[in-house]
Amino acid sequence: MTTSADRHDIVMIVDDAPANLAFLSDALDSAGYEVLVALSGLTALRQLELVRPDVILLDAVMPGLSGFETCQRLKAQPETRAIPVIFMTALTATEDVVRGFGEGAVDYVTKPVREEEVIARIDAHIARSRNLRRATSAVEALPRPSLTVDGSGNVTWLSERARALLPGPDWCLPPAVSRWLTRCRETDEEMGRSLAFTHNGQDFRVTYCDRVDADESLLLLEGTGAPAAERLAGAFRLTPREAAVLRWVMAGKTNRDIGTILAMSPRTVTKHLEHVFTKLGVETRTAAAARALAVLGGARQE
């Protein structure tokens, strides 16, 4: 068996059977891993408040909090969502395997666990997770908001810039944009193509970059606000930047969010907003939004 004396990868084993813990702990320790153990799902969750393993081996069937429920809680927390989970189970029924993947597991092994197989799977998933983190860091560095969506148009990942731009965490592509994306995915000729659209009163432009995998695509997103901003600028004699700021005030964004979206500092946003208040003859964001909504025909922003 290949070992690595300088390996620093951390594996957490969660199993209510001490004999299983001892066997796996010895095997992984011999392979050069740092090993953490937990006899229950609740114990594992408490440990994860203090340490972040590179992968978790999780027994599916345990008394109290089951492995399925433990995985569900892990995937519900932003801090632990990205940790790969490999189920260990004696359950081989299709519905049990499907349930494990449905809770967010990346793989499963059947008991009795074969030492070389589980180590090979751990290595593969740690490498994949590390590559994904590197790719995510690179995408986060892009100057424009970015996101990945699945084949149904559901958002699977958001950069911080995109998180500030979009109406809410459950946002998904409108049907017309999903159909456009499907066409883009069918041919590489569509790479770099953009589409402007309006959703819930907000104006966006989306650019198709590439496939991430068989079911996910990377998109760049821009909040243009152009049609509405032009009407606001004309109605109140605002500069383009002042109109853009007002547009996002209507959408309920904070000064920090607006600064992220428009690539300006929160202090600059505040200055623009002061000018907007003066030109609209108001003193509050709510009053400014109300006047702007009246000009745009009362359409609400979300």
Q: So what's the pLDDT on residue 168?
A: 59
Query: Omega before 18 cis (within 30°)?
Result: no
10-139: CATH superfamily: Response regulator (3.40.50.2300)
Quote the CA–CA distance of 277 and 264 in Å, as a whole number.
19
Q: pTM of the full predicted structure?
A: 0.53
Sequence-separated (6 or more) residues with CB below 8 Å from residue 62: 14, 15, 16, 40, 41, 70
CATH fold, domain 146-223, is Beta-Lactamase (3.30.450)
Within the chain, what is the greatest distance between any pair of CA atoms? Answer: 76
**CB of 136 closer than 8 Å to CB of 157:** yes
Residues 6+ positions from 47 with CB-CB distance below 8 Å: 12, 36, 38
- CATH number belonging to the domain at 226-295, selected among 3.30.565.10, 3.30.300.30, 1.10.540.10, 1.10.10.10: 1.10.10.10
Q: Strand 85-89 to strand 55-59: parallel, antiparallel, or no bridges (unpaired)?
A: parallel
Per-residue confidence of the chain (302 residues) as pLDDT tens digits?
444 444 679 999 999 999 999 999 999 999 999 999 999 999 999 999 999 999 999 998 899 999 999 999 998 887 898 899 999 987 766 777 888 888 888 898 888 889 999 999 999 999 888 877 776 666 666 667 888 888 777 787 778 778 777 765 567 788 888 888 888 887 765 567 888 877 665 678 888 887 776 677 888 888 765 567 778 888 899 998 999 899 889 888 899 989 888 888 999 999 999 999 999 999 999 999 999 888 875 433 33
Domain residue extents for the chain: 10-139, 146-223, 226-295
